[in-house]
Structure formats: C-alpha cells, structure tokens
Amino acid sequence: MKREFNLYLGDILECIRRVKKYTGDLDLEEFKKNQMVIDATARNLEIIGEAAAQLQEWVKKKYIGVPWQDITDFRNVVIHKYHTLDIDIIWDIIEHKLDPLKKQVQHILKKEK
C-alpha cells in the first residue's frame, strides 16, 4: 500500500534540507575532497528520486512543471551506475536544482492541504 502523497513530498523536503546542511559552506573543490559528504549527498538524492518515483500519478500529472521523470532518472543513475557518477553533475544539482524543487514541493503541499 502506498503512503500518502504528502509523506513522499515531505521526504523530498527533508532530503533537500539534509543535502543543504551537509554541503553548507563547501565549494566544489572542497566537496570533491570530502567522500563522506559526497556519499551522504548521493544517498539523499537517491531518496528524492525514489520518493518521486513512488509519488501518486495524479500529483505528477497535476504538477507537470516539476521534472519528476528527470528526478527519477537520476535516482536510477545513482543506484545502477554509481561507478560513473559525475561529481560536477551532483554539484550542479545542489547549486541549481534543489532550491527550485523545494519551492515547487512546498507549493504543492500548500495547494493540496
């Protein structure tokens, strides 16, 4: 049985919070040197992707502006092609994708209350 959609969205928000906490004041070079932070970040991106994959279809169809498929696809890369992970791509996600995703998820939660 699937969980309620708001729980999956809550998981996404929590994982974004964690990644931002882990990467906080780091720049790309410091990030690349810290394997523990890379691992923790990859794990949380994996969870974000799994939550997006499990999210009910009506949410995905109603909120088509969220790149659900891209998020799920990246989860598959983290899981199945872990040996080819590009740290620069992970950094780009941290720097440019997580904040907009956070805003979109918060918007969905507010609208669907």
Active-site hit among 18, 43, 75, 96:
75
pTM over the 0.85 mark: yes
CA nearest to 44, candidates 96, 108, 94: 94
Confidence of residue 39 (pLDDT cuts 50, 70, 90): very high
Span 18-44, average pLDDT: 97
CB-based contacts of 41, cutoff 8 Å, min separation 6: 19, 22, 23, 90, 94
Number of structural domains (the chain) is 1
CB-based contacts of 51, cutoff 8 Å, min separation 6: 8, 9, 11, 12, 15
Q: Is 80 a catalytic residue?
A: yes
Q: What domain range is 105 assigned to?
A: 5-111
> CA-to-CA distance for 107 and 85, rounded, in angstroms?
30
Tell me the pLDDT of the chain averaged across its residues.
Answer: 95
- Provide the pLDDT for residue 23: 98
pLDDT at 32 over 90: yes
Active-site hit among 3, 17, 80, 107:
80
Confidence of residue 76 (pLDDT cuts 50, 70, 90): confident
One-letter identity of residue 103: K
Q: Is 3 a catalytic residue?
A: no
Contact between 9 and 48 under an 8 Å Cβ cutoff? The reply is no
- Provide the pLDDT for residue 2: 76
The CATH number that applies at residue 63 is 1.20.120
